[in-house]
Amino acid sequence: MSVHKIVAPLLAAVVLVACGSQGKSEVESFAEQSSYAIGVDIGKNLQRGQVEIDLPSFMQGLSDALSERELLMNDEEMTQVLQEFGARMQQGAAERQAELAVTNKEDGETFLAENKAKDGVVTTATGLQYEVLTQGDGNMPSVADQVTVNYRGTLIDGTEFDSTDRRGRPATFAVNGVIPGWTEVLQLMNVGSKFRVVVPSDLAYGEGGSGPTIGPNATLVFEIELLEIAQ
């Protein structure tokens, strides 16, 4: 992590705190509005990263640099400290990711156990669960086929992370080109069918997760409508 990547957001955070201390109740000009929006965005990112800084020391360092006063630390000392700071941030992020992986795994197992007991839910040998919402009468795709589907994907708390409605069109892809849970369930669907599918984390994105929304070991819920086997 570079010194600039560490210092720039911290500078913005301090400016945001300083502005807040003046009791500003509204922003009128574009410069004020854009500055405030950037400050809020950076502040939220810092909050998620759980960055801890000593504001008086930071403000003194900022003032000393801008005023070209003699600094309390030399360049070598500051570089070493900032490198250590970056390493601690990375370690903290890794620890939080590991904790989230455990929590998601436990929550997913509880959700799967409760869903398994519902009428109409089928659990396969791999642990995949599906419920037939609409039974189609078309052909079933093979692993070598391409299919066109409508779908909606959510976390177990109902948070939507993706859907064809959001994208504005159905999706076409290879049956063997998606997560294992999808590859399995698509081969159980006739064209025209719509299934509700619960995908355990090991058949989804596993410990790595996917992007900012799908965390490590996340169990996922999909509604999948198989429209056609694409030619």
pTM over 0.85: no
Two tokens at 111? 């959700």
Residue 106, in any domain of the structure: no
With respect to residue 108, please indicate whether it lies within any of the assigned structural domains: no
DSSP codes of every residue in 86-110: HHHHHHHHHHHHHHHHHHHHHHHHH
pLDDT at 47: 65
130 and 224, same domain (yes or no):
yes
To the nearest whole percent, how much of the chain has pLDDT over 90? 62
| Residues 62 and 138 occupy one common structural domain | no
pLDDT of the residue at 194: 98
Same domain, yes or no, for 119 and 41? no
Q: Within the chain, where are the H helices? A: 3-21, 30-49, 55-67, 75-116, 164-167, 180-186
Angle CA(126)–CA(131)–CA(134) in degrees, nearest 5?
Answer: 135
Which of 72, 103, 130 is a domain's end point? Answer: 72
Q: Tell which of 19, 47, 72 closes a domain.
A: 72
| pLDDT, tens only, 83-106 | 988 888 888 888 888 999 999 999
Does one domain contain both 121 and 199? yes
Residue 59 lies in a domain: yes
Note whether 139 and 53 are same-domain residues: no
Whether 52 and 119 share a structural domain: no
12 versus 122: the higher-pLDDT residue is 122
Alpha carbons 25 and 15: distance in angstroms, whole number: 16
CATH number at residue 203: 3.10.50.40
Residue 4 pLDDT greater than 70, yes or no: no
Question: How many structural domains comprise the chain?
Answer: 2
Please indicate, yes or no, whether residues 122 and 57 belong to a single structural domain of this protein: no
Same domain as 208, residue 129? yes
Domain assignment present for 95: no
Domain end marker among 55, 72, 89: 72
Q: For residues 68 and 126, state if they share a domain.
A: no
Asked whether residue 178 is assigned to any structural domain, the reply reads yes
Q: Which domain holds residue 47?
A: 3-72
Flag whether pLDDT at 120 surpasses 80.
yes
Average pLDDT, the chain: 87
**Is pLDDT at 1 greater than 50 in this prediction?**
no
- Classify residue 170 as exposed, middle or buried by CB count within 10 Å of its CB (0-12, 13-18, 19+): middle
User: Are 60 and 117 part of one and the same domain?
Assistant: no
Domain assignment present for 66: yes
Residues 67 and 172 in one domain: no
Is residue 92 in some structural domain? no
In this structure, are 204 and 117 located in the same domain? yes
